Structure 1
Amino acid sequence: MSGFIATGTNTTAPYPITNDGFWPDIDGAHVRGSLRIDGSVTDARLEVAIVNALIQVNGELSAVKKGYKAEGHDTLEAVPADEIKGISLLVHLYRRSIYCAAGAELTERYRSYDTSTEGNKNADELTPSVDEYRRDARFAIRDLLGVPHSTVELI
């Protein structure tokens, strides 16, 4: 057995993943840093996860986009909203939904690469992270939709 562990290299140079013009572009390097994704996840794998998140989230928020555009806002940044660190709360929520959806996909995919006993133990430990990423993405989307985090119905 070797003591060598391949972790790849982290890319710190920003690389934008262009969006549709209304929703903000996403910087892959910022996603990597924010989610503490190490170099074992290549930029190509990270980009695929981000693009999948963009497709999913943009689809879920299509009605919100139509509403804002009908009000005359060409971008999410142009929609009046409170700001934190000079950035619209709406942009923060949108980015959170993308980052968490991509993080959930990457964490879930990571489980399938090591099927040893140690790998299974690590996968079991990652399960809450996948669920937490999905929850956080869902909460951010629901906040952007302006609906409560929980839906309760009596059957």
Structure 2
Amino acid sequence: MFESCCSPYDSAHLLRVRYGLPVEVFADRPYLTIGRTVEALGLPADLGRHVRDALAHRPATPVIADPRDRRWMFLVAPPLPYHRVPAPLQHRLLAHGVSVPQSGTRIMLPRTDGPGSWHWACEPVPGPLVIPHRATVLSAVRQAILQGADHVSA
């Protein structure tokens, strides 16, 4: 996908055009800033695989994996009207390794197709950005945790 990109600006442009992501370049890396248009949920990779599989019936849920494939970031749509994930729920999620980055947090986006860098664990569908609602992904997280998915070893 990134074979024609020579700079981080080329990569950012490709991510904007192909997927409709609100990409910025910061320190020569393409980033997405969490806010009122796009949020993220960070999961351990094992739990993330179960959640991704549970959401497989939907259009591709964009998921970014870190270079070592230990953490996955699910891109989600915040609720309307906007409200933050309540602190008690955040604490319960954190007990299972699930993080809810705050507004203003930068999420690194894939820049190359090579292994050993940030990459898509689940690539978005080309076209205007389509992401699931936060509640949909949180429901899948809850179900996976109840089924014991957060205790699966790699």
Do these two structures clear the TM 0.5 threshold for a shared fold by scoring above it?
no
Flag the structure with larger Rg.
Answer: 1
Q: TM-score range by the shorter chain?
A: under 0.3
With normalisation by structure 2, the TM-score equals 0.25
Identify, as 1 or 2, the structure richer in helix.
Answer: 1
Identify, as 1 or 2, the structure richer in strand.
Answer: 2
Higher relative contact order structure (alpha carbons within 8 Å, sequence separation ≥ 6): 2
